[in-house]
Amino acid sequence: MDNKLVIKKIQALLYDPPEKPVILGRITHEGRAKELIDLIIEEARIPGEVRDADRIASVADRIKLPQDEHFVADFRKRPVIIHPLSGEEFDLKSLMQIEMEDITSDVERAIVFLADKYKNNKERFYLALWRELIGRLADDSESKSKSGQLWELLPADTRIPDHSIWEHKRITAAIAGALPKPAFLLFSIGPVQDFIVTARKTHDLWVGSYLLSYLSWSAMKVVAEAFGPDSIIFPDLCRQPFVDIWLKNEKGLDIEIPDSENLSSPTLPNRFLAVIPEGSIKDIAEEAKRAVKSTFKEICDIVKKEMEERLSINFDKWNNIWQRQTEDFMETYWASVSVDDHKEFLDTYKSLMGISNDWKFDRLLKKYEEKGFAPNIGTFYGQVYGLTEKILGSRKVVRDFSQQGEPNHKCTLCGVREPVHPGMYNSRDCSEDFRALRGFWQERVMAKFLQIRKSERLCAVCLSKRLVAAAFFKEKLGFEIDSVFPSVSMVATASFRKNVIKSFGNPEIKTRVKEFINHLQILFSGKEDRMNGASLPMVHHMCNNEEAVNMDDRDLAKQFVKIEGNWFFEDSFKESLEEEMPNSSEDVRKAVGISLKNLLQAVKKQNIDLPSKYYAVIHMDGDNMGKWLSGENAPDINDILHPAVREGLDDSWDEFKGMKRPLNPSLHLSMSKALRDFSLHVVRRVVEHDHLGKLVYAGGDDVLAFVNLKDLPEVMQKLRAYFSGSLRVDTETGRVEIDFKEGSGFVPLDGNGHPVNVGSGEPVQGFLLSMGAKATASIGVVIAHHSANLSRVLDEVRASEKKAKKINNKNAFCIALVKRAGGTKHITVKWHYDLSPFEKGGKGGFFESIPLLCKWADAFYDGCISRRFVYIFRTETDALEGMPAEAIKRELLRLANRQRDKKAKKFNEKNMEELVNGIVNFYAGGMRSGDIGKFLSVAEFLGREGNR
């Protein structure tokens, strides 16, 4: 960035002072802006371009309202903010206690601090204003106003308080850098799904997502370097791990490096929207394209070089294969739109989008003209974005194609490209060629690279994915990332390990654990990496918890949780050993088998469940995200107005109050911020810290995770609730509870800035913006055997997510139960049902599906009701459909009570009636008997395999 652009960005970021809503009416914001700019720039002037940028940003973000005293909202007296996505209103009560002198001194101190911190370096100061200022204000221990997290809430316009001053400042800076003719650039890279899900190991899945996230950043970085990170509207780059490393290492900002946990998370999507000068569009887009391709090529070349050094390879055939497969593998697409003439643009837009002449937006423009408001490019933000999206979609349809032959045998992972080899196809005997290829991989590659399995022969792309974490991200970039990913067997056995460690107080269990570990160490002597795997984070943290594990047992616990999950299953023990240790001693194998049997017998004596052979994969995706991004799901204009303004508008505005709020950049930034915080701060906390799971990726609304069956229902429900902020703080207990009816739209935080776990009782100290109560998400789940083909499991979880999306209005989940014996059961259910009273005897009202699933699973697990009930229900209830609620309830109670354990002290007829009422409500919600039977099958399976 040149110095003139940097200064313009600084002026734009300070043009609206952070404390503007509090000082409004007592000092002009432009006068205050000059004071702030004067603190750090010799000439405190506001250039015309910055004023123009502010006007464009203001018009883009707000509804043009009459400028008189009837439409002023005194934010200090009535500080009302509105959730930008749901339109929900929140009253902060009063800010009258905040003195103007205190809040202005807080701002001045923070700005002077950053100016002194980055003396004589305007670019660093600009980046600090973008990245550090809000945090500096919120965490200032010397603050006189004591505003804390209130800084994040202060609106840009008190009359339309649905977006903060920070979003507006960033949009102003982006536009200021793009004048005189701003243009949209929408950029996308691929292939995405095929690249990620081509996986035989969980590590492949994670690293594919991580690599794509990094490649996306390589394209975004081109824009950030040229025009500043605020030029990218979505995703929100502020506090993203890759961006913070760039700011720290390359730009010299004095900020903390992201910890290993955050840095290990793939959180950037494969597309971005930027606002840059029209004249720079092609150059920037092409440079971003080159950055993606060159970065991918560099990664592959580093992996190739490491293999050459370890295997002493340097042959033309070897080099040709690598070049052919990696040169043009990544695809990139981009589209751009700018506006010359407003009327001509609108005519073109309506023609391309098939919009009729009776368009509400036309009438709103006419209303503006009547009030003397001249439109500018900001007025048409939503239309420019919509057209850009349509053009990019059209460009993707015209796929790039270059014919490329892939001869001979195929990669065992992707099945498309030729495995890399040093040139060994010299005979006409295909079987001899295959033996040579297999020998190269098993005798040479596998011996030097422990990440490779016995049966694998990989192409350049799949091999680069397998080795990139260590070769590129760790060694080349120095990233402190956790690149060892738990296997599905580790996920399946996590609850078992946790329960065994808790029982270390029993001498027999501890003795049997030691024996098992000792025999495994003998078997894998010198090859411990094949014995051990990565434990789930929650189990790992448990080993370091003094309350959970005695200090004397800590080393043993750490050894135990690292044992690869396959070694806990007697039926798969031999098969796994043949794969990993084909030449091991038969006597040693027998000794390991005996010690395992002894351990499992000791565990049974203590009533600890044996390790489950099943695990779950969760794929979550936000519903209708295209509609959110296009503004179709935005709140109505009436809902985003401050109450004082809403009350003051005359009847001539009634037509427009019910109109959707026009799409604006702050709406995009709010969505981006909500999705950023969900992916960075919420998902991992829910999946890994509070439950037995491992996150693969969280790219905004898109989540993929592996979860132990014990915690599956809770993880599903929490991800859905935290996504939309369907949470409330109980006024009596202070506990955070899930509430899909009256949720706040925000995620409560504890004193450490972490999302408060539901029901934990941790005091709430802050919040994160979520997508809001009107946003929904759907989840696909697969429950699969640990030995099932991972690629097929991933295909099934995507199919399950699509089945959930087919439910009317979505907001559903689909669980696929894939048993090893064969057959797959799918059950698709809505998260909750808002029912009208279902005749006499029906519970009616609002009820949720996951709590019902948990109650049935608990009843099956505790033996309160026989598992035979599922069979009886599926064979004897078809005739119930269409009958009155009372009749359905009576018949279900009759069948259920016959299978109820009458001796169960904690489970009586009243408990049975509660479970049956839930089933009756499913009938009311439109579910058929067959689907309810599948629901009960899943509940029974979770009760049987859940490892409590």
Rounded to whole angstroms, how far apart are CA atoms 59 and 667? 13
Q: Which residues pair with 232 in a beta bridge?
A: 274
DSSP three-state, residue 121: coil
Rg (CA), the chain: 30
- What is the distance in angstroms between the CA of the first residue and the CA of the last residue of the chain? 58
Nearest of 237, 67, 91 to residue 161 by alpha carbon: 91
Rounded to whole angstroms, how far apart are CA atoms 886 and 882? 12
Burial 718-740 (b: 16+ CB within 10 A, else e): bbbbbbbbbbbeeeeeebbebbb
DSSP three-state, residue 907: coil
Given a contact cutoff of 8 angstroms between Cβ atoms, the answer to whether 391 and 337 are in contact is yes
**In 254-359, which ranges are continuous DSSP H helix?**
260-263, 281-311, 316-326, 342-353
Tell me how long the chain is.
948
Dihedrals phi, psi of 502, to nearest 5 degrees: -65, -20
Give the pair of three-digit tokens for residue 108. 């001045």
Q: What is the DSSP string of 194-216?
A: HHHH--SSHHHHHHHHHHHHHHH
Given a contact cutoff of 8 angstroms between Cβ atoms, the answer to whether 812 and 829 are in contact is yes
pLDDT for the residue numbered 524? 86
The half-sphere exposure of 576 on its side-chain side, counting CA atoms within 13 A, is 20
Dihedrals phi, psi of 333, to nearest 5 degrees: -135, 145
DSSP three-state, residue 98: coil
Nearest of 594, 586, 588 to residue 570 by alpha carbon: 594
pLDDT for the residue numbered 474? 93
| Number of CB atoms found within 10 A of residue 628's CB | 23
DSSP three-state, residue 244: helix
Rounded to whole angstroms, how far apart are CA atoms 476 and 295? 12
Strands 271-277 and 182-190: antiparallel
Rounded to whole angstroms, how far apart are CA atoms 203 and 844? 46
Q: What is the DSSP string of 401-458?
A: -------SS--TTTSSSPPP-SS---SS-HHHHHHHHHHIIIIIIHHH-TTS-TT---
Nearest of 375, 343, 319, 127 to residue 228 by alpha carbon: 127
Residues 174, 176, 178, CA angle at the centre, nearest 5°?
75
Rounded to whole angstroms, how far apart are CA atoms 268 and 462? 21
SS (H, E, C) 609-667: CCCCCEEEEEEEEECCHHHHHHCCCCCEHHHHCCHHHHHHCCHHHHHHHCCECCCCHHH
Nearest of 842, 899, 831 to residue 865 by alpha carbon: 899
Rounded to whole angstroms, how far apart are CA atoms 878 and 646? 54
pLDDT for the residue numbered 223? 98
pLDDT for the residue numbered 841? 45
Helices (H) and strands (E) in the chain, counts: 42, 18
pLDDT for the residue numbered 461? 93
**Distance of alpha carbon 721 from the chain centroid:** 14
DSSP three-state, residue 354: coil
Dihedrals phi, psi of 649, to nearest 5 degrees: -70, 135
Rounded to whole angstroms, how far apart are CA atoms 510 and 503? 8
Residue 110, Cβ density class (10 Å: 0-12 exposed, 13-18 middle, ≥19 buried): buried
Give the pair of three-digit tokens for residue 269. 């999507």
**Residue 712 one-letter amino acid:** L
pLDDT for the residue numbered 904? 83
Dihedrals phi, psi of 748, to nearest 5 degrees: -65, 140
Per-residue pLDDT reduced to its tens digit, 484-531: 889 999 999 999 999 999 999 899 999 999 999 999 999 888 777 778
Q: Report residues of the chain scoring pLDDT below 70.
A: 25, 42-44, 66-72, 399-403, 425-429, 579-580, 582, 836-845, 946, 948
Rounded to whole angstroms, how far apart are CA atoms 642 and 946? 50
Residue linked to tokens 């202070």: 734
| pTM for the predicted model, two decimal places | 0.93
pLDDT for the residue numbered 402? 63
CA distances for 639 relative to 90, 172, 371, 647, 819, angstroms: 12, 25, 22, 12, 49
Given a contact cutoff of 8 angstroms between Cβ atoms, the answer to whether 728 and 744 are in contact is yes
Rounded to whole angstroms, how far apart are CA atoms 210 and 923? 43
**In 764-876, which ranges are continuous DSSP H helix?**
790-805, 849-861, 868-876
To 10 degrees, what angle do helices 868-876 and 885-899 make?
A: 150
DSSP three-state, residue 713: helix
| Number of CB atoms found within 10 A of residue 346's CB | 20
